[in-house]
Amino acid sequence: MADGFTFELVSPETLLLSGEADLVTVPGAEGDMGIMSNHAPLMTSLRPGMVSVNMKEGGEQSFFVRGGFADISPAGVTILAEFAVSKADLTKEVFEEQKRLAQDEVDASADSDDEDKKANARSFLDQLNHLEPTLLPA
């Protein structure tokens, strides 16, 4: 088995996970990517989605993240998420709250003349809507 690497998932309020991991899958801005040890240094922004981690000890864990970055460096992988919650704690209410925030963002950008901003907010909300059935099977 390949060597592990240091993985950390932090949100502004707390450090959610820190430890040795074998494989991390992150929803990068331009597509999901699996990261193993000795990955080339890379910095990517994140789409809203699931991050899953194969820990060296403790098996697989997944988290819902919204907004933020993954910093992949020789020292390890750090995910700075604006909002992160482990899959087990992700309830319908939490998700609805996220959708509401995204909707607010869309509304707020509606009367701005920054097209990029509008498109970003829109796609953000679309992604959340797209994720809903997989994350929260009715």
Partner 1 sequence: MASLKDLRNRIASVKATQKITKAMQMVAAAKLRRAQSAAEAARPYSQRMDVVMANIATAVGDSEGAPKLLAGTGSDKVHLLVVATAERGLCGGFNSSIARLAQKKARELMAAGKEVKILCVGKKGADVLRSEFDSIMMPIVDLREVKQVGYANAHDIAKQVLTMFDKEEFDVATLFYSEFQSVISQIPTAQQIIPPQIADVEGEADTAATLYDYEPDENEILADLLPRNVAVQIFRALLENAASEQGARMSAMDNATRNAGEMIDKLTQTFNRQRQAQITTELIEIIAGAEAL
The verdict on 78 binding partner 1 (CB under 8 A) reads yes
3-state class of 37 per DSSP? coil
The verdict on 29 binding partner 1 (CB under 8 A) reads yes
Nearest distance in Å: CB 15, partner 1 = 5
The verdict on 43 binding partner 1 (CB under 8 A) reads yes
Beta partners for 60?
54
The verdict on 15 binding partner 1 (CB under 8 A) reads yes
**Selected binder of partner 1 within 2, 41, 88, 133 (CB under 8 A):** 41
Whether the Cβ atoms of residue 42 and residue 79 lie closer than 8 Å to each other: no
- Spatial CA neighbour of 22 closest among 32, 36, 34: 36
Whether the Cβ atoms of residue 27 and residue 51 lie closer than 8 Å to each other: yes
The helix (H) or strand (E) run that includes residue 104 is helix 92-110
The verdict on 8 binding partner 1 (CB under 8 A) reads yes
Both tokens of 135, joined, read 């994350």
The helix (H) or strand (E) run that includes residue 81 is strand 76-86
The verdict on 89 binding partner 1 (CB under 8 A) reads no
**Selected binder of partner 1 within 44, 61, 98, 109 (CB under 8 A):** 44
The verdict on 80 binding partner 1 (CB under 8 A) reads yes
Footprint on this chain of partner 1 (rule: CB under 8 A): 8, 10-15, 28-30, 40-45, 67-69, 71, 73, 78, 80, 82-83
